[in-house]
């Protein structure tokens, strides 16, 4: 059961639309949704007031469009500042079960040059993130895909997915990509046995190839409505307050899937 979700809203409606697809699930029956909108710093007092009024209208519109259940509650936060820093700070303060944000789906270098909020938060936030690119369809949750690799991080990712689908009629698609043909896929067998024991319908997908492209191709074939993948703690170990450019430009699996997946992606956190 998810108790608290932080919903970053920018006026596009994308993150709220994703939240509305989650709210009918039993695991969200008593969830509190905190809507966060950030107005940028302005030089003049007049500019701040205009942005604040616009922000209040966005919050009102998004709040009214939330399809809350009988036991759902919501709160709103309107703050001024650098959106990247504010989202990270609020996430640290509230410690939600996860954060929902929109994303332009830019590649790593383009994200940095474009000063992408979602890329920065992905790098520095400590909570799981559900990223909704502006070029993907948001659909009713019928199928979710979980990428497994035998690691403890991937098992925690599966735990998260199980918690989300518990009590709902949702198929869990387990995908494992290996460098060579793997007819006796122990990783998938263990995951499937766990789901079977919990009475969760599932499908196993053993694939061969490079992990990132293969997972995304598999998602295109199987059409999940949400893709789960484990992401390491991306925050720099030396300077937690600054993005690590080398890591941002790295070729991590979660980076690739975040940018190229054909559906919303939920990145669970794990310490490296």
Q: Looking at the structure, do residues 221 and 254 belong to the same domain, yes or no?
A: yes
- pLDDT for 269 equals 81
pTM: 0.89
Q: Looking at the structure, do residues 126 and 184 belong to the same domain, yes or no?
A: no
Q: Looking at the structure, do residues 129 and 149 belong to the same domain, yes or no?
A: no
Range of the domain at 73: 4-133
Is residue 138 included in any domain, yes or no?
A: no
Interval 90-105: pLDDT, tens: 999 999 999 999 976 4
**Confidence category of residue 2, pLDDT binned at 50, 70, 90:** very high
- pLDDT for 258 equals 87
Q: Looking at the structure, do residues 147 and 265 belong to the same domain, yes or no?
A: yes
Instruction: Give me the DSSP letters along the chain.
Output: ---EEEEE--SSSHHHHHHHHHTTSGGGTT-EEEEEEEEPP-SSHHHHHHHHHHHHHHHHHHHHH----TT-EEEEEEEES-HHHHHHHHHHHH--SEEEEEE----HHHHHHTT-HHHHHHHH--S-EEEEETTS-----SEEEEEE-SSHHHHHHHHHHHHHHTTS--EEEEEEEESS--SS-HHHHHHHHHHHHTT--EEEEEEES-HHHHHHHHHHHH--SEEEEEEE--S-SS-TTS--HHHHTS--HHHHHHHH-SS-EEEEEE--
Interval 166-195: pLDDT, tens: 999 999 999 999 988 777 899 999 999 999
Q: Looking at the structure, do residues 79 and 170 belong to the same domain, yes or no?
A: no
**Confidence category of residue 255, pLDDT binned at 50, 70, 90:** confident
Domain-ending residue, one of 92, 108, 133:
133
Identify the CATH number of the domain in which residue 100 sits: 3.40.50.620
Give the total number of structural domains in the chain.
2
């Amino acid at each position: 059961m998810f108790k608290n979700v932080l919903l970053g809203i920018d006026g596009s409606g994308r993150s709220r639309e994703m939240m509305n697809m989650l709210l009918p699930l039993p695991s969200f029956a008593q969830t509190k949704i905190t809507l966060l909108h950030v107005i940028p710093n302005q030089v003049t007092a007049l500019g701040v007031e205009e942005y604040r009024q616009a922000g209040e209208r966005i919050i009102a519109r998004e709040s009214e469009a939330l399809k809350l259940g009988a036991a759902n509650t919501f709160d709103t936060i309107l703050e001024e500042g650098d959106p990247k820093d504010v989202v990270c700070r609020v996430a640290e303060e509230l410690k939600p079960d996860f954060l929902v944000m929109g994303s332009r789906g830019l590649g790593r270098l383009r994200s940095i040059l474009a000063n992408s909020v979602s890329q920065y938060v992905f790098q520095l936030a400590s909570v799981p993130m559900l990223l909704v690119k502006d070029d993907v369809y948001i659909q009713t949750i019928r199928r979710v895909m979980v990428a497994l690799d035998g690691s403890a991080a991937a098992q925690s990712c599966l735990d998260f997915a199980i918690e989300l689908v518990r009590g709902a009629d949702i198929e869990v698609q387990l995908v494992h990509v290996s460098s060579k043909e793997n007819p006796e896929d122990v990783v998938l067998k263990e995951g499937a046995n766990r789901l079977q024991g919990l009475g969760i319908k599932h499908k196993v997908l053993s694939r061969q190839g490079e992990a990132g492209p293969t997972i995304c191709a598999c998602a295109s074939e199987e059409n999940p409505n949400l893709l789960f993948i484990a992401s390491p703690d991306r925050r720099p170990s030396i300077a937690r307050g600054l993005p690590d450019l080398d890591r941002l430009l790295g070729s991590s699996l979660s980076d690739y899937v975040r940018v190229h997946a054909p559906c919303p992606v939920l990145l669970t956190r794990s310490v490296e």
